[in-house]
Amino acid sequence: MMKLNFVDMDGTIAMTSLALQKHLGLDEIPPTDYNWCNGLVDWASLNASFWLTIPAYTESLALLKTLDNVKILTHCFSLNAMIGKRRWLDHYWPGVEMINMSEKWLLAGPDRILWDDYPEQINKWKAAGGIGNLIERPWNQ
């Protein structure tokens, strides 16, 4: 059976926290809590161009682009996010398929690998029968 690789976008290949800190006028430091921005960000109010300001995790991106059979999993809170994230991917990873969903574990199964920075997503993916690889970030140590 062919393996499928599912790569998370925000926090895994896109430095979303850094862009949000800039957008909010906060000090640009790596957060140590995954949910640091809860209550600070109105996700639906971010326009499509915001997503293009997000820098890439170049090392992670380069490594993950070597994989075969890749689909990007990301949660888009609005149409602007969907447009902006697609444009971001067109710039950094042209041609890769993007799937908008928050319940990633629904796609888990044998020979399906999730690459994600959020331990909860990895744990749910594994519990549903998939293979999970945690991308290390300051907030998941």
Q: Which residues have CB under 8 Å from 9's CB, separation 6+?
A: 16, 72, 73, 74, 85, 88, 89, 98
The CATH number that domain 1-16+47-55+73-141 falls under is 3.40.50.1000
Asked if residue 86 lies in contact with residue 9, where contact means CB atoms within 8 angstroms, the answer is no
Mean of the pLDDT values across residues 42-65?
91
pLDDT value at residue 141: 83
Answer yes or no: is pLDDT of 114 > 90.
yes
Cα 46 from chain centroid (whole Å): 16
Domain ranges of the chain: 1-16+47-55+73-141
Per the CB < 8 A criterion, the answer to whether 89 and 76 are in contact is no
CB 8 within 8 A of CB 118: yes
pLDDT-based confidence at 138, cuts 50/70/90? confident
Percent of the chain past pLDDT 90, that is, above it, reads 72
Per-residue pLDDT, 41: 81
The confidence score (pLDDT) of residue 44 equals: 79
Beta-bridge partner residues of 98? 72
* pLDDT tens per residue across span 60-104: 999 999 999 999 999 998 999 999 999 999 999 999 999 999 999
pLDDT tens digits for 14-44? Answer: 999 999 999 888 888 878 777 777 778 887 7
Residue 89, Cβ neighbours under 10 Å: how many? 20
pLDDT at 140: 86
- For residue 9, the number of C-alpha atoms closer than 13 Å in the C-beta half-sphere is 28
CA nearest to 42, candidates 8, 78, 9: 78
List phi, psi (to 5°) of 55: -75, 160
